[in-house]
Amino acid sequence: MSEIRFPLIIVNFKAYTEVEGEGALALARACAEVAGESGVSIVACPPMVELGRVASSVTLPVMAQHVDHKTPGSATGWVTAESVRRAGAIGTLVNHSEHRLGMEGIRSVVLACKRADLRTCICADSANSSGEVAIFAPDMVAVEPPELIGGDVSVTSAKPDIVIEAVRAVHQIDSSIPVLCGAGVKNGQDVKKAIELGAKGVLLASGVVKAKDQKQALRDLIRFV
């Protein structure tokens, strides 16, 4: 995974109005600037419709928020792993809390991604399910308790044990798979705590996307990394 280093910050743009059209490019540029000045590895996950434009405009690893398992060809309206790779993405989130796939769905998407040389970060809602999805040999697992997503309290303060246990569960399957955590992560203290708990980074959205000053929020996030 040459384009990604750990500790890693993945910024999921989701589908917020702030990242429609030019907003996605502006946030990706802010991510690239902060990554460049700090040397910290930041990945941008723009909305699918902006993926190609963002990937060709910024020097920053870009991942999709989702891909489908379909093979290229007769697949109207589906998004293939190959097309996402060709658009310039290096990887994708899989099974995000807002786009659940089920175990069979995860398995087929991860296979499609491996076929297309696309990195995978499988999201899971608990420590147990983090261990369960590790059997698919993803490049990363991100544990995110759904009830904390989009809120003001970070998983690292509200549920630190879930991070510790997710790392343990994943590493029982394969100790080389990095585990990230997310939900409510907002600042540098949250990222510092995540790393102390054994995570290799964070997956976050609203703390950056909805910040008044997105660049400042990014600088704050990485200040202890």
Residues with a catalytic annotation lie at: 96, 144
Q: Which residues of 47-81 are buried (b: 16+ CB within 10 A; e: fewer)?
A: bbebbbbbbebbebbbbbbbbbbbeeeeeeeebbb
Give dist(CA 119, CA 191) in Å, integer. 22
When binding is defined by CB under 6 A, the residue of 97, 120, 129, 214 that contacts ligand G3P is: 97
Per-residue x/- marks for ligand G3P, 20-59, CB under 6 A? ----------------------------------------
CA dist 21 → 37, 54, 209 (Å): 25, 10, 14
Q: Under the criterion CB under 6 A, does residue 130 sit at the interface with ligand G3P?
A: no
Between 25 and 158, CB nearer to ligand G3P: 158
- Residue 184 contacts ligand G3P per CB under 6 A: yes
Packed helices 22-38 and 214-221: angle between N→C axes, nearest 10 degrees: 30
- Residue 204 binding ligand G3P, by CB under 6 A: yes
Q: CB nearer to ligand G3P: give 32 or 204.
A: 204
Binding site for ligand G3P (CB under 6 A): 12, 96-97, 144, 149-150, 182-185, 203-207
